[in-house]
Amino acid sequence: MTGLLSPGIFASFMMGFFWKRSNSAGALFAIVGGFLVALAMHNNWLPFANWAEVPFLDRMGWVFVICI
């Protein structure tokens, strides 16, 4: 379960730490949006790939990149 939440939280932390223009709305969007994208990948709702066959840590990396 933490793998669904951690990419968005880590992305919001990294952007808040290294980018001066980040704000709370962006952080909230990254956390909630990252969870929804990770859940969609986990349930294979997204097109263009069979996300069920992609290793879980690779999916976490993709969610992190999307949140950034």
How far apart, in whole angstroms, are the C-alpha atoms of residue 49 and residue 53? Answer: 9
- Say how many domains are in the chain: 1
Q: How much of the chain, in percent, has pLDDT values that exceed 90?
A: 74
Residue 29 has pLDDT above 90, yes or no: yes
Domain that holds residue 47: 2-67
Residue 15 has pLDDT above 90, yes or no: yes
Q: What share of the chain is helix, strand, coil (3-state, %, to 5)?
A: 70, 0, 30
Contact 64/10 with Cβ under 8 angstroms? yes
Q: What is the mean pLDDT of the chain?
A: 91
